[in-house]
Chain A
Amino acid sequence: MSLHAAGREPVLRLEGVRKSFGDTEVLRGLDLTVHEGQVVVLIGASGSGKSTLLRCVNLLEVVDDGRITLEGDDVTDPRVDADAVRARMGVVFQAYNLFPHLSVLDNITLAPVRVHKVPKAEATERAMAMLERVGLPEKASARPDDLSGGQQQRVAIARALVNQPRLMLLDEVTSALDPELVGEVLDLLRELKDEGMTMVLNTHEMGFARQVADTVCFLHGGVVHEQGPPAQVLDDPRQERTRRFLARVHA
């Protein structure tokens, strides 16, 4: 963490974030700080609130209490323009969520044209460059349904990246994929990390967490129960809960 200039504003900071659904309190005063260029991997049992955390950051859920700041701007302020906040982040979902009625190219240019008001020609140019980047330039005019799962997920990543987000949120982006397709997506994420993209991601793949994470956070009881570099949290956890979770995952 010494890599990150101490005085710089973190890209993302969560302070005492609480979120309940009815009687179930999912997040119970959770704190998390993500610095520029850092890759934070969230692990935890099913239902521990990993997806909820990402949805709160993206303002798809309204937090009950606490503060979330994006580059110093309080985004939990009710007066904030949620669309403008979301436009600064890229989200990739487990089920890709591509728009089936649009071509691959139109999926990618939709937000640049409609949200960022980029001229159509320039947006197309950027989208093609992005497809090149994810290795799918020949699929520009294809429909999402005609692509493999891995290809769809790479398009979804391109769709998020083309808006030059300050922060990428990735929710189990490989768990809907056949094992042989996981590699192509993980390679892409590793490249993104090397380029300095700030990312928060959920995963059940401890091997991948080990490879890309700067920090691994173990979610339990609605808070970050343990966090640290992957070598420490995954190989030599200090907390009993973390140890038990990892034993179950490895079993």
Chain B
Amino acid sequence: MVSAASTVLLLGVVVALVVTSPGWPRVRETFLDPHKAVEAFPAVLEGLWLNIRVMLVCGVLIAVVGLTLAVMRTVRGPVAFPLRLFATAYVDLFRGLPLLLVLFVLGFGAPALRLSGLPSSALFWGSCALVLSYSAYVAEVFRAGIESVHPSQRAAARSLGLSYGQTMRHVVLPQAVRRVVPALMNDLVSLQKDSGLIAVLGVIDAIRAAQIETALDFNFTPYVVAGALFVCLTIPMARFTDHVARKQGFHGAGGHL
């Protein structure tokens, strides 16, 4: 009750302040024009569908590449040194490079190479950039999960005769992945937003579609439409993340509504 009342009151104050400001009529015209919103909606929605597809395909690839890198980084023994070296270098490189830079280099550079057998579309190379950058982050999340599994679990598995691979597959990874699911969901939400960055390569996603609509008459309402759609997509994922986290016993004030 109290929280509801205070929320309504605060919202009321903010809205009143904005609406009574001198520039409000002009802002409303260029950012919140209902006609323009209706007009731009189909194009922006179609762009958003592309964002969703990019997010889903990249999400799966990122999980696979990230997990592979994490396993490579945690293999022990001198024989596996090249694996560890490669995975460490990869993670260092792509965590350090700004995503936008990777996008530009791959999006404009790779097609220019005209590699045979590989598509030259901006969508393909943009998605590659997302996979490269994100898998470096996700690899670190997986690695933290793998290292959080107590060594006695490995000892128990090995003492039963399970090989290194079987121990990873049946004992370590199931526990590791369960522990990092909330963190991974968080990265997925963030990927969903960053999928919009491939617009810089000219791919027509929700943001680019909004931009095109805007360019017709300098009315920025389509951006607001795109923003609203992104938020609508993020909220259910964020709540789902909270739900998963809570189910696993990660309590605490954060994340509770």
Contact = CB atoms under 8 A, between A and B. Distances in A.
A200 to B, nearest CB: 14
Contacts of B152: 93, 95, 97
A111 B161 contact: yes
A85 B156 CA distance: 14
Interface string B137-181: 000000000000000110111111111001000110011001000
Contact of B159 (A60, A99, A116): A60
User: Main secondary structure on chain A at its contact with chain B?
Assistant: loop
B158 A97 contact: no
A115 B162 contact: yes
A58 B174 contact: no
A110 B159 contact: no
Interface residues of A, number: 23
B192 to A, nearest CB: 29
A136 interface: no
B175 A163 contact: no
Contact of A84 (B159, B161, B171): B161
B170 A97 contact: no
Contacts of B160: 86-87, 91, 110-111, 115, 159-160, 163
A87 B174 CA distance: 22
Given A86-B161, A115-B160, A163-B161, A60 B155 contact: yes
A58 B162 CA distance: 13
Contact of B153 (A83, A99, A114, A159): A99
- Residue from A98, A110, A160, A163 with most neighbouring chain B CB atoms (10 Å): A110
Contacts of B161: 83-84, 86-87, 111, 115-116, 163
Contacts of A27: none
Interface residues of B, number: 17
Interface string A162-189: 0100000000000000000000000000
A89 interface: yes
Contacts of B158: 60, 83, 86
Q: Which of B153, B156, B174 has the most CB of A within 10 A?
A: B156
Nearest to B156: A97
B156 A99 contact: yes
Contacts of A116: 161
A101 interface: yes
Contact of A91 (B153, B159, B166, B171): B159
A115 B167 CA distance: 11
B18 to A, nearest CB: 51
Contacts of A163: 160-161
A85 to B, nearest CB: 8
A221 interface: no
A119 interface: no
Contacts of A99: 153, 156-157, 171, 175
B76 to A, nearest CB: 13
Contacts of B155: 60, 93, 97
Nearest to B169: A114
Interface in A39-60: 58, 60
Interface string A92-105: 01010111110000
Contact of B175 (A101, A111, A115): A101
Contacts of B178: 101
A110 B156 contact: no
Given A93-B152, A100-B175, A86 B170 contact: no
A103 B166 CA distance: 18
A93 B150 CA distance: 14
A87 B158 CA distance: 9
Contacts of A58: 159
A30 to B, nearest CB: 20
A111 B153 contact: no
A89 B159 contact: yes
Interface of B: 152-153, 155-163, 166, 170-171, 174-175, 178
Given A86-B160, A95-B152, 12 more contacts: A60-B159, A84-B161, A86-B161, A87-B160, A93-B155, A97-B153, A99-B156, A101-B174, A101-B178, A110-B157, A159-B160, A160-B160
Closest 8 CB pairs of A and B: A87-B161, A97-B156, A111-B160, A91-B159, A115-B161, A86-B161, A97-B152, A101-B174
27 contacts: A60-B158, A60-B159, A83-B158, A83-B161, A83-B162, A86-B158, A89-B159, A91-B160, A93-B155, A93-B156, A95-B152, A97-B152, A97-B153, A97-B155, A99-B156, A99-B157, A99-B171, A101-B178, A110-B162, A110-B171, A111-B160, A111-B161, A111-B162, A115-B162, A159-B160, A160-B160, A163-B161
